[in-house]
Structure 1
Amino acid sequence: MLRSLSTVLEDLHAGMQAATRRAGHGVRIAQAEMTLPMDCALVLADSGCTLLADVARNPADASWRESASRLVLRWGEIPTEELP
Protein backbone atom coordinates (compact mmCIF):
# COMPACT_ATOMS: atom_id res chain seq x y z
CA MET A 1 0.00 0.00 0.00
CA LEU A 2 1.49 3.31 -1.04
CA ARG A 3 1.53 6.16 1.49
CA SER A 4 2.66 9.75 1.52
CA LEU A 5 6.45 9.91 1.19
CA SER A 6 6.63 12.04 4.35
CA THR A 7 4.92 9.24 6.31
CA VAL A 8 7.40 6.68 4.94
CA LEU A 9 10.34 8.90 5.97
CA GLU A 10 8.89 9.41 9.46
CA ASP A 11 8.45 5.64 9.88
CA LEU A 12 12.02 4.92 8.74
CA HIS A 13 13.39 7.50 11.17
CA ALA A 14 11.28 6.16 14.04
CA GLY A 15 12.49 2.63 13.28
CA MET A 16 16.10 3.76 13.39
CA GLN A 17 15.53 5.45 16.75
CA ALA A 18 13.78 2.35 18.11
CA ALA A 19 16.76 0.21 17.06
CA THR A 20 19.09 2.29 19.25
CA ARG A 21 16.74 1.90 22.23
CA ARG A 22 16.63 -1.89 21.75
CA ALA A 23 20.42 -2.03 21.56
CA GLY A 24 20.67 -0.81 25.16
CA HIS A 25 22.18 2.12 26.97
CA GLY A 26 25.24 3.83 25.59
CA VAL A 27 24.39 3.28 21.92
CA ARG A 28 24.07 6.43 19.85
CA ILE A 29 23.76 6.73 16.08
CA ALA A 30 25.74 9.71 14.82
CA GLN A 31 25.21 8.93 11.13
CA ALA A 32 23.09 6.50 9.13
CA GLU A 33 22.66 5.88 5.42
CA MET A 34 20.09 3.70 3.66
CA THR A 35 19.54 2.81 0.01
CA LEU A 36 16.10 1.26 -0.42
CA PRO A 37 14.07 0.06 -3.42
CA MET A 38 10.88 2.11 -3.59
CA ASP A 39 7.50 1.81 -5.22
CA CYS A 40 6.36 5.33 -6.18
CA ALA A 41 3.32 6.97 -7.72
CA LEU A 42 2.52 10.60 -8.42
CA VAL A 43 -1.13 11.39 -7.70
CA LEU A 44 -2.72 14.51 -9.17
CA ALA A 45 -5.84 15.59 -7.29
CA ASP A 46 -7.47 18.71 -5.83
CA SER A 47 -5.30 21.07 -7.90
CA GLY A 48 -2.10 19.59 -6.46
CA CYS A 49 0.13 16.58 -6.56
CA THR A 50 1.27 14.11 -3.94
CA LEU A 51 4.14 11.65 -4.12
CA LEU A 52 3.07 8.30 -2.72
CA ALA A 53 5.72 5.72 -1.94
CA ASP A 54 6.66 2.71 0.12
CA VAL A 55 9.61 0.38 0.46
CA ALA A 56 9.31 -2.43 -2.07
CA ARG A 57 8.35 -5.62 -0.24
CA ASN A 58 10.33 -7.92 -2.54
CA PRO A 59 12.29 -7.65 -5.81
CA ALA A 60 9.27 -8.74 -7.85
CA ASP A 61 7.28 -5.66 -6.76
CA ALA A 62 9.04 -3.45 -9.31
CA SER A 63 9.65 -6.06 -12.00
CA TRP A 64 7.74 -4.01 -14.61
CA ARG A 65 10.55 -1.43 -14.55
CA GLU A 66 13.95 -2.05 -16.01
CA SER A 67 15.58 -0.37 -13.03
CA ALA A 68 13.65 -0.05 -9.79
CA SER A 69 13.38 3.32 -8.07
CA ARG A 70 15.85 3.81 -5.25
CA LEU A 71 15.63 6.14 -2.28
CA VAL A 72 18.94 7.14 -0.72
CA LEU A 73 18.66 8.59 2.79
CA ARG A 74 21.46 9.99 4.88
CA TRP A 75 20.90 11.13 8.44
CA GLY A 76 23.71 12.77 10.39
CA GLU A 77 24.16 14.94 13.40
CA ILE A 78 25.16 18.56 13.09
CA PRO A 79 27.24 19.78 16.02
CA THR A 80 25.59 22.91 17.42
CA GLU A 81 28.92 24.78 17.64
CA GLU A 82 29.10 24.71 13.82
CA LEU A 83 25.73 26.38 13.29
CA PRO A 84 25.83 30.03 12.16
Structure 2
Amino acid sequence: MMTKVLHIEHLQKNFGNFKALKDISFDVNSGEVFAFIGPNSAGKSTTIRIILGLLRKTAGIVEVFGEDAFKKPVEIHRKLVYVPGDIYLWP
Protein backbone atom coordinates (compact mmCIF):
# COMPACT_ATOMS: atom_id res chain seq x y z
CA MET A 1 0.00 0.00 0.00
CA MET A 2 1.35 3.42 -0.94
CA THR A 3 1.46 6.16 1.69
CA LYS A 4 -0.33 9.39 0.80
CA VAL A 5 2.02 12.33 1.17
CA LEU A 6 -0.52 14.85 -0.08
CA HIS A 7 -4.32 14.55 -0.18
CA ILE A 8 -6.46 17.28 -1.71
CA GLU A 9 -10.21 16.80 -1.98
CA HIS A 10 -12.71 19.30 -3.42
CA LEU A 11 -10.38 22.24 -2.72
CA GLN A 12 -11.87 25.65 -3.40
CA LYS A 13 -10.55 29.17 -2.87
CA ASN A 14 -12.51 32.36 -3.41
CA PHE A 15 -11.21 35.91 -3.29
CA GLY A 16 -14.48 37.80 -2.88
CA ASN A 17 -16.61 36.86 -5.89
CA PHE A 18 -13.59 35.53 -7.83
CA LYS A 19 -13.23 31.73 -7.74
CA ALA A 20 -9.49 31.07 -7.91
CA LEU A 21 -9.78 27.30 -7.30
CA LYS A 22 -12.83 25.26 -8.23
CA ASP A 23 -13.16 21.71 -6.89
CA ILE A 24 -9.51 20.54 -7.11
CA SER A 25 -8.89 16.91 -6.07
CA PHE A 26 -5.73 14.78 -6.30
CA ASP A 27 -3.36 12.64 -4.23
CA VAL A 28 0.42 12.34 -4.28
CA ASN A 29 1.83 9.10 -2.90
CA SER A 30 5.24 8.39 -1.43
CA GLY A 31 7.79 7.85 -4.23
CA GLU A 32 5.78 9.70 -6.87
CA VAL A 33 6.92 12.79 -8.72
CA PHE A 34 4.24 15.44 -9.18
CA ALA A 35 4.42 18.75 -11.03
CA PHE A 36 2.12 21.73 -11.36
CA ILE A 37 2.03 22.99 -14.91
CA GLY A 38 -0.36 25.40 -16.53
CA PRO A 39 -0.84 28.92 -17.77
CA ASN A 40 -0.60 32.05 -15.63
CA SER A 41 -3.57 32.49 -13.29
CA ALA A 42 -4.42 28.78 -13.37
CA GLY A 43 -4.21 28.51 -9.55
CA LYS A 44 -0.83 26.81 -9.14
CA SER A 45 0.62 29.28 -6.62
CA THR A 46 -2.67 29.55 -4.74
CA THR A 47 -2.80 25.76 -4.36
CA ILE A 48 0.81 25.64 -3.15
CA ARG A 49 0.21 28.42 -0.62
CA ILE A 50 -2.79 26.53 0.76
CA ILE A 51 -0.75 23.30 0.96
CA LEU A 52 1.92 25.20 2.92
CA GLY A 53 -0.70 26.63 5.29
CA LEU A 54 0.06 30.18 4.20
CA LEU A 55 -3.40 30.80 2.76
CA ARG A 56 -6.76 29.63 4.08
CA LYS A 57 -8.95 27.53 1.82
CA THR A 58 -12.58 28.39 1.24
CA ALA A 59 -13.66 24.73 1.19
CA GLY A 60 -12.26 21.22 0.86
CA ILE A 61 -9.64 19.03 2.52
CA VAL A 62 -5.87 19.53 2.34
CA GLU A 63 -3.69 17.03 4.21
CA VAL A 64 0.10 16.80 4.10
CA PHE A 65 1.66 13.72 5.72
CA GLY A 66 -1.81 12.97 7.11
CA GLU A 67 -2.09 16.32 8.91
CA ASP A 68 -4.39 19.26 8.17
CA ALA A 69 -2.29 21.79 6.23
CA PHE A 70 -3.57 24.79 8.16
CA LYS A 71 -3.92 23.30 11.64
CA LYS A 72 -0.43 21.68 11.79
CA PRO A 73 1.91 23.81 9.62
CA VAL A 74 4.89 23.62 12.01
CA GLU A 75 4.90 19.81 12.03
CA ILE A 76 4.45 19.71 8.26
CA HIS A 77 7.18 22.27 7.56
CA ARG A 78 9.69 20.14 9.47
CA LYS A 79 9.30 17.53 6.72
CA LEU A 80 9.27 19.62 3.54
CA VAL A 81 11.00 22.43 1.70
CA TYR A 82 9.53 24.98 -0.67
CA VAL A 83 11.66 27.26 -2.84
CA PRO A 84 9.56 29.63 -4.95
CA GLY A 85 10.62 30.20 -8.54
CA ASP A 86 10.68 33.98 -8.14
CA ILE A 87 13.18 34.15 -5.25
CA TYR A 88 16.29 36.29 -5.73
CA LEU A 89 19.10 35.68 -3.25
CA TRP A 90 21.93 37.55 -4.98
CA PRO A 91 21.99 40.68 -7.15
**TM-score scaled by structure 1?**
0.24
More strand as a share of residues: 1
Structure with max Cα Rg: 1
Higher relative CO (Cα under 8 Å, sequence separation at least 6) belongs to: 1
More helix as a share of residues: 1
**TM-score scaled by structure 2?**
0.23
